[in-house]
Amino acid sequence: MATSARTVADDRWATEADLIAALKAGDSQAFCALVDALHAPLVRLASLYVSRATAEDAVQDGWVSVVRSIDKFEGRASVRTWVFRIVLNRVHTLARKEARMAPFATAGSESEPRPSVEPHRLAHPVLGAHYWADVPVRWDLLPEEELISAEVRSVVADALQRLPGAQREVVSMRDLEGWSSEETCEALGISAVNQRVLLHRGRTALRALLEEFLNDR
């Protein structure tokens, strides 16, 4: 199996293999535990591309596909990764119909690659190129209540929606859902290098937007 992470943290299924066996045996408790563990993050990810109602429908369709195809699951990846791939395929199809995203086959490809940091920010008046003109804001020195305020969360959510589709997925899975780089690559079907590039660009864009907001306060 590609990852040792447990999809469902429940002692009734001590290992991922035990969970898979229970699902294939038609164990309703195992399936309910799987839904409890994954439904909310699946809807959150789907909502990056389609309306909340459409996201719910896409995830429900995904669960139907899971039930129908569990016998064919070979366990080369975690159940979580497998379920996410099923749902993502459905979401991508729906999103393309709504003309809200490009096919994911273009993930990481940009017709006009942009620098991670605007060039003028790395042009110090004395030290020259490649040095920060102004030191980035130290967010760790800001009051905690300011960083976790509803207003800041709203800014982050809006900024996330502005990212290109592939970056949104990678940042959401890595930083919001806590996936490892290996799981993210596996779920999205991308290379480790591509994942790192998408994550770096996405994080940089989010930081720039949030930094602008915090500096203006």
- Per-residue pLDDT of 23-78, as tens digits, reads 999 999 999 999 999 999 999 888 888 888 889 999 999 999 999 999 999 888 88
Q: How far apart are the first and last CA of the chain?
A: 49
Domain with CATH 1.10.1740.10 in the chain: 16-97
The whole-number pLDDT of residue 111 equals 43
Average pLDDT of every residue of the chain: 78
Q: Which fold has domain 16-97?
A: Rna Polymerase Sigma Factor; Chain: A (1.10.1740)
Q: Say which residues have a Cβ less than 8 Å from residue 119's Cβ, sequence separation at least 6.
A: none
pLDDT in tens, 93-140: 887 776 544 444 344 444 444 555 566 666 667 767 666 566 555 544
The pairing of strands 123-124 and 128-129 is antiparallel
Residue 151 has what DSSP assignment?
Answer: H
From the options 1.10.600.10, 3.30.530.20, 3.40.50.970, 1.10.10.10, give the CATH code of 107-215: 1.10.10.10
Q: Rounded to two decimals, what is the model's pTM?
A: 0.66
**Pairwise CA distance, residues 194 & 214, whole Å:** 30
Domain with CATH 1.10.10.10 in the chain: 107-215
